Structures are given as C-alpha cells and as structure tokens.
Amino acid sequence: MSLQLVANVVVLAAIYALVSTGYVLIYRASRVLNLAHGELMMVGAYFLVATAGLFSGDPLLALALAAVCGLVMGMVVYVVLMRWMTGEAVLAAVLITIALGILLRGLVILIWTTQQFYPGATFGWRNPPVAIVPGVQISAASLAIVAVAILVYVGLFGFLQFTRWGVRMRAAGQNPLLAEQRGIRLHGVYAFAWGLSTFTASVAGMLMALDSGVESTMAIIGLKAFPAALVGGLDSLLGAVLGALIVAAAEIAAIQYVNPLLSDVVPFIVLLIVLAIRPWGLFGSREQLDRV
C-alpha cells in the first residue's frame, strides 16, 4: 500500500473512531444501541451551519457554541425521550432511536432544506491540502479530524478511568441496580452519557462539514461507523479504535483494488464477518450476547 493510501485509511479510521465513541458511550452506560447517532451527528453539523451564519467572523466561537449545543442536545434527547425507556426492553428503546432518527432527518430538511452548506466557506477558510510527508497529502480539515479524534479518545479515556463520575458511569453500565443502591442516580448518568455521545458526534459532524460540506444525506456515515464499534466490542473505546482501523482499511482497500461502489457496503461485510466469527467483538464479553 502506498503511503497516501495509508494516510487515507488513517483519516477515515479517525472519522469512524470519533463517531464510534458515541455508540460506545451510550451502550456502555445503558446497554442501548442508539441508531439515531448518524442523524444526531448530522444535526451537530447543521448547528455549525447556524452558528457560522451568526458568527462568521469568529470561527472559534461558532465552533464552541455548536459543540455546546451538541452536548445539550444529547441530554435533552435523554430527558425528554429516552428516559421513559429506561428499564424497558432494550429492543423497544432501539426502535425509538430509529424513529428519532427519522424525525431528525425530516426536521433538518424542513429547517435547512436539501441544500448543501459549506460552513468553512462562511469563515473564509479554503481547507488547503497539507503535505504531511512529501508525496502524501490530506486536507487540513482531515488533519484536524485525526488530531481531534486522538484528543477526544485521550480525554474520554481519562474521564472514564480517572474521574469519579467516569468511574460511576462505568459502574452504572456494569450493574445498574447496585449503582442505584450505592446512591448513583442512573438518570443523571445516562443523561450525561447521551450528552457526551452527541457532543463527540457533533464535533465529528462539524469537522466533516468543514472538510466537505453539510448535506442531509451525511447521516449514513454514522451508520457506516457502527461496524467499527461492533468489531471492537460495543463497550470498549480501545476496541472502537481498532475496529475503525480495520473497517477503514478494508473499505479503502476495496475501493482501491476491487470496486469503488463497494465503499458503502464494505463496513457491513466486515460487520457480518465479525458477527459470524466473534459476535462479541475484539474486547467485548461473551455474556453480552445473552443480555440482549
């Protein structure tokens, strides 16, 4: 593989990894698969379109504001909707997320139409290609995605391992009943998990918006990132990174050496292979299968 291809794989893996954090966070905390994640990511990107329009002279403010909106959005979704499904059958909760995704897709088009937006252009930023190594080029936004993905992972890992509330989130995921018995308010933990999840998704969406624009069909990337989370074992962050690398490598290789049309289906082929061989993923645990 040429170095350029490797670079492409790393960029795509960074996107998938960043988006996967959302799946992992929510699944780890509450065993729910959020199939609206792609749409929530898309809404985050549209938040940037809105804030860019308002603060076109101050990109950092626009980005920060959009990210905060992303965080709040997740918590609102939990408090208004998902909270009622806590304790109910997981499948019903997943179906609700599917319905939420559809609702969001409709709302986004109603508010912003099917037009494509380029928030980067609103800031006057031209997204120049950057040569990381002679002969290898990626766009500046792609470089940002990789950097941000690394930052987010380090941050999340630190949060979950070393902060009290991070450990509490892990505890709630392991044994919600015991967590309640030790004073941990599950609703609070879940709301925060959702907030963090949509925060990272929005950041991913915003960066992709800066790279290639915003369009109502970008939610599919969210769905394509899901196999990465699954390959890793749905509740492992480290697994999601590895899963993202595997899926991205497979996808780029397929596009390059077999057929460009395969791009959308390769992640799911990887998914099927993993489900056939080792359904609980690289770092998941066997009992997960039965818990569902």
Q: Where does this chain bind another protein (CB under 8 A)? A: 33, 81, 84-85, 90-92, 94-96, 98-110, 113-114, 164, 167-168, 170-171, 174-175, 177-185, 223, 226-227, 230, 259, 261-262, 264-265, 268-269, 271-272, 275-276, 279, 289-290, 292
Q: Of the two residues 68 and 171, which places its CB atom closer to another protein in the complex?
A: 171
Beta bridge partners of 129: 139
What is the distance between the alpha carbons of residues 56 and 223, in angstroms, rounded to a whole number?
Answer: 31
Q: Which of 60, 45, 85, 58 is nearest to 217 (CA)?
A: 45
Amino acid in the structure at residue 125: W
Judge whether 153 and 16 are in contact, CB under 8 Å: no
Q: Of the two residues 199 and 226, which places its CB atom closer to another protein in the complex?
A: 226
Q: How far is the CB of 117 from another protein (least distance, A)?
A: 16
Q: How far is the CB of 252 from another protein (least distance, A)?
A: 17
Q: Which distant-in-sequence residues (6+ apart) come within 8 Å of 108 by Cβ?
A: 39, 42, 43, 46, 216
Q: How far is the CB of 137 from another protein (least distance, A)?
A: 29
Q: How far is the CB of 107 from another protein (least distance, A)?
A: 5
Q: Which distant-in-sequence residues (6+ apart) come within 8 Å of 68 by Cβ?
A: none
Judge whether 166 and 30 are in contact, CB under 8 Å: no
Q: Of the two residues 41 and 108, which places its CB atom closer to another protein in the complex?
A: 108
Q: How far is the CB of 158 from another protein (least distance, A)?
A: 14
Q: How far is the CB of 233 from another protein (least distance, A)?
A: 12
Q: Of the two residues 3 and 111, which places its CB atom closer to another protein in the complex?
A: 111
What is the distance between the alpha carbons of residues 176 and 87, in angstroms, rounded to a whole number?
Answer: 10
Q: Of the two residues 1 and 102, which places its CB atom closer to another protein in the complex?
A: 102
Helix (H, G, I), strand (E, B) or coil at 36: coil
| E strand map for 77-194 | 129-133, 136-139
DSSP letter at 117 equals B
Q: Of the two residues 1 and 91, which places its CB atom closer to another protein in the complex?
A: 91
